[in-house]
Chain A
Amino acid sequence: MQRYSFSSLLRHTLEGHRGWQPAWQKAEPKDRYDVVVVGAGGHGLATAYYLAKEHGIRNVAVLEKGWLGGGNTGRNTTIIRSNYLYDESAALYDHAVQLWEGLSQELNYNVMFSQRGVMMLAHSEHDSKVAKRHVHANRLNGVDNEWLEPKEAKAFCPPLNIDPAIRYPVVGAALQRRGGTARHDAVAWGYARAASALGVDIVEQCAVEGMELAGDRVVAVRTSKGRIACDRVAVVTAGHTSHVMAMAGLRMPLESVPLQALVSEPVKPIFPCVVMSNTVHAYISQSDKGELVIGAGTDQYVSYSQRGGFPVIEHTLEAIVELFPIFSRMRMLRTWGGIVDVTPDRSPIIGRTPVRGLYVNAGWGTGGFKATPGSGHVFAHTVAHDDPHPIAAPFALERFTTGRLIDEAAAAAVAH
């Protein structure tokens, strides 16, 4: 792997940029691997990277039916935060934020992690009580979060409309200063490059079409590029998890729905942070290219169509225009959808399955990007040791049978 640095940039510039090598090697699948990771999104690639780096398991393939990072990794709104209510969630998501803080150095790849602050708006007495409860719960867990009065929120985000006469006035906000954004594609590319350098095979255009079991153990996957024998299979396929797990005869506590996002035409820097409103369903930030990046909601029905209904976009833009009237005449350039797998308690599933050697990391729903490094890190441990990482243990599939849910759905009162 070529190391990237200022001196390498200078050297390649003087050589006319003819000496750059591909960031990662394209591979054709071998007959056999120790671990097959299904899905080359951020979570899958991070899993492969940490398997190779921290657990010495380098005979690993990452199989991707499309192109690298082309699923939800390339479709999300790149928001990173860890201000979740419950202890288990705070531990998981803050583990990710701590990894984000050193990720560009770790991967020697600029993932453009920007801790510009994530501000979550409150619009009513009820909202403010819920938000303050989050602030206190977070601080008890060592996760930074603070309450802002409307004028302080306006000072932090000048385009915000704090007029008390609007339909959903801003009565305050919870601000996590360590939250922010990262460049989503760079996260996939950075992990792919670092994993490839450690010997991981990344195989694109290779759809998994079946799984072979011997008794209660998985022994191979059947793919569009042939049969691949393996000791362990790690499924990290987001919206397609139910579809893939059905190949091993398993049902999942998941439903897949389209989640939409959209971007505006690019403009000069105007929006210095991330603002979210769960109550009116608006998520907005500005990319480094200058586009406003807006997150909308999910459709209400199961769908794998990778596009959502217009009423969802309309609903979100109504809220954006009321909260930020300055954007009312901006033109939107693109809208798109990704398929997200939602669990009943809106917390992910990380761990073993009833089939031995088969592991699943799924159910991140509408908010998986923020967890990418932490998710891969604890999942790699779980796969390598056939034993859950302590942070991942509460997120095991068994919780839907024992009833010990981690109910972040009720905690945030939103499909987030």
Chain B
Amino acid sequence: MLLIHCPWCGERPESEFRSGGEAHIRRPDPANAGDAAWADYLYYRTNPKGAHVERWVHTQGCGRWFNAERDTVSDQFQRVYRMDEPR
């Protein structure tokens, strides 16, 4: 079980959280985006073997979202930061 550091509640077990998938995915501009841009936004993911930036929500705690950087090979969290902080 992962131990996840919520920026507001501190370290809590993984079962209190939901993963929100890859972070920093920007919605394309509806006025100009073609099919490929929408496909990339909706379906394509970086899925890296290594450092991954992702969103989490502390559903069973404060209910707030935050971002994290985690190594997908070791599952170790490198950094936890707020949604309004830069990558």
Contacts and interface: CB of A to CB of B under 8 A. Distances in A.
B18 A401 contact: no
A400 B18 contact: no
B72 A305 contact: yes
A251 B46 contact: yes
A310 interface: yes
Contacts, number: 72
Ranked 4 nearest A-B pairs via Cβ: A242-B47, A253-B43, A401-B39, A301-B19
Interface string A331-346: 0000000000101100
Nearest to A307: B75
Interface residues of A, number: 26
Main secondary structure of the interface of B (DSSP, over half): mixed
B1 A311 contact: yes
26 contacts: A242-B46, A243-B47, A243-B48, A243-B49, A246-B48, A251-B40, A251-B46, A252-B45, A253-B43, A253-B45, A300-B19, A301-B19, A302-B48, A302-B54, A302-B72, A303-B75, A304-B49, A305-B74, A305-B75, A341-B47, A344-B42, A400-B43, A400-B44, A401-B35, A401-B36, A401-B39
A402 interface: yes
Nearest to A405: B43
A305 B73 contact: yes
Given A254-B45, A256-B49, 20 more contacts: A242-B45, A242-B48, A246-B48, A252-B44, A252-B47, A253-B45, A255-B45, A255-B47, A301-B2, A302-B21, A302-B54, A304-B49, A304-B72, A305-B72, A311-B1, A341-B47, A400-B39, A400-B44, A401-B35, A401-B39
Contacts of A252: 44-45, 47
A251 B1 CA distance: 30
B35 A402 contact: yes
B87 to A, nearest CB: 16
Interface residues of B, number: 27
B15 interface: yes
Nearest to B40: A251
A205 to B, nearest CB: 19
Contacts of A402: 35
Contacts of B11: none
Contacts of B15: 311
B52 interface: yes
A305 B1 CA distance: 13
A177 interface: no
A186 to B, nearest CB: 30
A314 to B, nearest CB: 9
Interface in A327-382: 341, 343-344
Interface in B13-30: 14-15, 18-19, 21-22
